[in-house]
Amino acid sequence: MLQVLISFITNPIIIFIFILDILLIIIYPHFTGFMGEFWVKKQLKKLDKKEYLILNNIMINDNNATHQIDHIVISRYGIFVIETKNYSGIIKGNKYSNEWVQILGRNKYYFKNPLFQNYGHIKSLSNVLNMDEKYFISIICFSNRSQLKLIDVNVINLYILIETIKKYKQPIIENDIYELKKIILQNNIVDGEVRQNHVINIRKKLKEQNELVKNNICPKCGGKLVQKQSKYGYFLGCSNYPKCHYIKNIK
């Protein structure tokens, strides 16, 4: 029996399949993220190059924090800041909750509210360009494989991305859009080590926040988390509401 087990474990085909599974676990999330950004990038190429300046995969430093921005479209009609989510299944949530949920069959997967994430991106661009936030337009773009059950005009599927951008027809920016592009590129971080540290710091911060929530401590203000109920179900809310709007869905 032992000899059979050893023979099975040392079988080159079994070893190859095992290594392949491990690689898929590691690479797949990065691959899906890359493909999501690829398809958005392809769609954005349909815009008139004279009116819309497109920047992809930009990382800037603001107040000692780095922000990785998937896509920026600079135009006279506003600066569109696009966060890409290559998710499938049903996507549920609301603009105030800290987490949204992805439903695949009977399984639920929670992820950080991308509206909050993109607001951080807009805030950093606003500081870098020294422009009011009113000139920035947040767009969260999910893949066409997802079914969105959300309430927000700029949380969209990929197939209406161009249509959404072109809805803005009133010129609001007097600055030279080429100069704005130049400033962003001057502040873009291209150093590979810095970009890698950005990912590490995000994971570290997320782990710290999860630890606080486990101990019923609000990661936003340090207040006590209490269980509440809304039409979306039960959730943990900060006891310092309305000063603090932190919300976490109860799984």
Nearest to 180 by CA among 78, 40, 67: 78
| CA separation for the pair 63, 108 (Å, rounded) | 35
Q: Which residues contact 178 (CB under 8 A, 6 or more apart)?
A: 53
Q: Taking the model in full, what pTM does it have?
A: 0.71
Lowest mean pLDDT among 91-105, 166-180, 189-203, 229-243: 189-203
In tens, the pLDDT along 147-192 reads: 999 876 679 999 999 999 999 999 999 999 999 999 999 999 887 7
The residue-averaged pLDDT of 17-37 equals 49
As a whole-number percent, the residues of the chain with pLDDT over 70 amount to: 78
Nearest to 86 by CA among 139, 36, 37: 36
| CA separation for the pair 235, 246 (Å, rounded) | 10
Check if the beta carbon of residue 240 is closer than 8 Å to that of residue 230: no
Q: What secondary structure does DSSP assign to 154-167, as a single string?
A: TEEEGGGHHHHHHT
The domain ranges of the chain are 2-190, 191-251
- Radius of gyration of the CA atoms of the chain, in A: 21
Distances (CA, A) of 136 to 9, 73, 101, 112, 129: 57, 10, 26, 21, 11
Residue 220, pLDDT score: 80
Phi, psi values for residue 65, rounded to 5°? -130, 140
Q: What share of the chain is helix, strand, coil (3-state, %, to 5)?
A: 40, 30, 30
In tens, the pLDDT along 28-75 reads: 344 454 565 788 999 999 999 999 999 999 998 877 678 899 999 999
Residue 133, pLDDT score: 95
